[in-house]
Structure 1
Amino acid sequence: MAKKKSGGWLESIKTIVYAALIAVGIRTVAFEPFNIPSGSMIPTLLVGDYLFVSKFSYGYSRHSMPFSPNLFDGRIFGSLPRRGDVAVFKLPRDGSTDYIKRIIGLPGDRIQVRAGLLYINGEAVRREFVGPYTVEGDGPRITVRLYRETLPAAGTAAGVTHQILEATDDGPFDNTTEFRVPDGHVFAMGDNRDNSLDSRAMNAVGFIPIENLVGRAEFIFFSVDGSAAWYEVWAWPFAIRWTRLFSAVR
């Protein structure tokens, strides 16, 4: 009887180990969940969104694995992101902090912002005014301007159309020098243009090595507006943003 009990414990431990290995494998090569803690990507991503990031989109680097072990350099099966992709990357200055932004510039691109308007390779990026937008859940409630922006095509890929927010066209990052994206790097910006620490801040984020890309944001699987505490079970259904569940990230 004692032998059987010992064997039962051993099988349970083996099952747990196998499950953990499978979970790590899926997170490494397929999909990894992330949550959105700040408002730098509003209106595309809201505080409280939970999303899946595809790890295979740009190939694999050491940052594809948990804790980014220094096992090899570069990427395996690597490919460039598409201009306009929403991507998770490791912050270049520490190699460990996860950031999520929109890829605006590819290697060789010239990026500049003038009076709030984005320029890529010397050409103004088209933006259309949509209307006022009230920002909630990321500090004080404010109303800003919502625009529809269409990035230029890159190669055979059509230009991506997405929405951005502008509180002003004369903020700290609304007039920049021209940035030339070096080989092996990309340039990223938040959709909440006046409330995003991104590649425009060279001393904080700057150009992002392609090796630091973790994956592409694919779809939101859960979203909560933060109006219900963990113990307020009766309020949970009202805190879920039901319309955002299983929506694609564009």
Structure 2
Amino acid sequence: MHQTVSFERDALVSMASNSLAPGPFAAAVVYCTRTCFQGEAMKMKQYLKGIWDQQHRCPSGIMGWLAGEQMVRQHRPETAWTLDLLDIQLADQVLEVGFGAGQGIKLAASKAREGRVMGVDLSDVMVQAATRRNARAVRARRVVLVRGSITALPFEDQQFDKIMTIHTFYFWPEPSQVLSELRRVLKPGGRLVITLCTGTMNAQGEVKMWPLQSILETQVMPDMQRGSFQVVRMAQGPNSRQYTSVALIGE
């Protein structure tokens, strides 16, 4: 697509340059031709970005599958770090909300070998991908994966020892409602870890924080404290590509 647009643009620019007498009018035609195609290319880029962003929220079709596999590769540092924060024990009942292609589920199942790992995701494509990635554990019923919403989790009260969710916070419709639902299914004394990115770091190591960091500190953490979490803290995580990671931990 990009090569075709570039070829057509260059051809029209060349035609205008060679067909018109040199002067202000010819220069204006060439300028308008270039600008028109640049504008169309920018629109196409924005359109494709919108589609790709939607695939990160709720992957579907072949593009959704590709997005899921990309996230597995890109989020390895945060996923491993989140598992360390959870401190999963052999017999723990573990939940991952928004498990994507299932790499976090796989790591959790390798730790809770005498327990069970469950997951809920909004995307049918991700349920299928994660089921394939964890096929043996799924057959043994050590891993159970279902489609569902984070605002109405299909689980019993106080069912899980550990709950994790990685890079889903950006898509929560109402954080207070989601936090209440996560607290509902967490056992007393259990641990919740919410991992997300809150800024960027350039090649010189300079960090630029997003407004999201302030929202976490002034709104989300107080909500967690009001929601019966006895201990609420924020941990600084690994830098993944150019992004800085944090985790909210509630116990």
Question: TM-score, normalising length from structure 1?
Answer: 0.24
Find the structure with the greater CA-based Rg: 2
Q: Which has the higher helix share?
A: 2
